[in-house]
Amino acid sequence: MLNRLTYRQTYLLLTALLAVAVVLSAGVGAFSFAPATLWRYVEQGLGILPRDPADLLGRNVFFDLRLPRVLLSGLTGAILGVSGTLMQGLFRNPIVEPGLAGTSAGASLGAAAVFVLGNTTMRVLSPLGAFAVPACAFLGGLAATLIVYRVSSGFGKVNVFTLLLAGIAVNAVCNAGTGFLSYVARDPQARNITFWNLGTFTTAEWHGVTLVGVVFLICLAWALRQGKALNALMLGEDEAAALGTDPRRLIVRLIVLNTLMVAVDAAMVGVVAFIGLVVPHVLRMARSSDYDFLIPASALFGAALMEIIDVAARLVIPPAELPIGILTAIIGAPVFLWMLLRQQARSDPARG
């Protein structure tokens, strides 16, 4: 499909798609803004135009509600896309993503624990302040990922069946934990947890978006330099080592940084499944499995896809909106099943 394009042309195409998606996502919703209006708000916000008092309400809606939401959904898509790509590199298989491998569920459990128990039982966390939630999300996500990775890998190889089964078990435990917390929580918290468990961007605010953005950029800057090492790892740990890389160090850093960005994001938006699966899959089919290409491309495409899904979530049942996770599961689960079928047909998947 995109095979005739160079990597650079593909990036340009994806960037254009992302730009259109962002404008669309910024304009659509309970308040609708035409692109010209959005542009006027931006100019007023930057002080290029004088601030028109008649625009005050619209401008506030745009800057305080819409813009953080647009940024958060774009960042979430980019994080999940890159994370799916990285985890597929880690597990050396295209049917992994942070949702399936338990990273997101573990992070959610960690975050929910702080939400529900934070003020009473977990005084030790108080010095962390606002960072307590993402910090605990990170610990939860890391524990979940490490368990799944340790169970499914040995002797330099990864067993896909074990990986998926371990993912199911870890997800079940984490979801049970989160379910328990929402059961014992007082009502407004419980409702929040339930909604956030399905993924939501309604809670977007500037502090959270800034934290997610900074963490993502740090992890992306690292990931962009690992393309060759991840490619070499596709051949196996021994082969990667024989090509002069240090696979053990790569794997440790990959698990930590990937969990960090997924967990910080999940603490904000909850579990959004299957994006990490669909985004790299489409890019692999359309262009290449070269990680030098996949990492930047999955950031761009993930962001664009998530903006579009977020627009759909706002439009399906107005004035209410659908939790994001419901939509991504509807789109992603069939893709996942289809990929499983294909892998089953092609070779013995147990050998991974």
Partner 1 sequence: MVELTDVGFRVGQTDILSGVSAAFRPGRFNVILGPNGAGKSTLLRIAAGLLTPSAGAVRYADRPVERLDREALARVRAVLSQDVQLVFPLSVEEVVLMGRYPHYGRVPTARDRRIVEDALEVVDLTARRRQPYPTLSGGERQKVQLARVLAQIWSDDRSPGPKVLFLDEPTSNLDVHYQIHILDVARGLLAGDCTVVAILHDLNAAFEYGDAFYVLEGGRLVETADSAERISAGLLERVFRVQARRAVDSGGGGGYWRFSR
CB of 59 to partner 1, least distance (A): 43
Per-residue CA distances from 27 to 17, 58, 156, 213, 349 (Å): 16, 11, 49, 22, 45
CB of 279 to partner 1, least distance (A): 15
Amino acid at 26: A
CB of 164 to partner 1, least distance (A): 14
CB of 88 to partner 1, least distance (A): 8
Q: Compare residues 120 and 347 and give the one whose CB is closer to partner 1.
A: 347
CB of 97 to partner 1, least distance (A): 15
Q: Compare residues 115 and 291 and give the one whose CB is closer to partner 1.
A: 291
Q: Compare residues 233 and 309 and give the one whose CB is closer to partner 1.
A: 233
CB of 223 to partner 1, least distance (A): 14
Q: Compare residues 235 and 252 and give the one whose CB is closer to partner 1.
A: 235
**Contact positions vs partner 1 (CB under 8 A):** 92-94, 157, 228, 231-232, 234-236, 238-239, 241-246, 284, 288-290, 292, 343, 346-347, 351-352
Q: Compare residues 186 and 346 and give the one whose CB is closer to partner 1.
A: 346
CB of 6 to partner 1, least distance (A): 12
Q: Compare residues 201 and 291 and give the one whose CB is closer to partner 1.
A: 291
Q: Compare residues 212 and 229 and give the one whose CB is closer to partner 1.
A: 229
CB of 243 to partner 1, least distance (A): 5
Q: Which three-class secondary structure string do you get for the chain?
A: CCCCCCHHHHHHHHHHHHHHHHHHHHHCCCCCCCHHHHHHHHHHHCCCCCCCHHHHHHHHHHHHHHHHHHHHHHHHHHHHHHHHHHHHHHHCCCCCCCCCCCHHHHHHHHHHHHHHHCCCCCHHHHHHHHHHHHHHHHHHHHHHHHHHHHHHEECCEECHHHHHHHHHHHHHHHHHHHHHHHHHCCHHHHHHHHHHHCCCCCCCCHHHHHHHHHHHHHHHHHHCCCHHHHHHHCCCHHHHHHCCCCHHHHHHHHHHHHHHHHHHHHHHHCCCCCHHHHHHHHHHHHCCCCHHHHHHHHHHHHHHHHHHHHHHHHHCCCCCCCCHHHHHHHHHHHHHHHHHHHHHHHCCHHHC
Q: Which two tokens stand for residue 278?
A: 């669909």
Q: Compare residues 102 and 247 and give the one whose CB is closer to partner 1.
A: 247
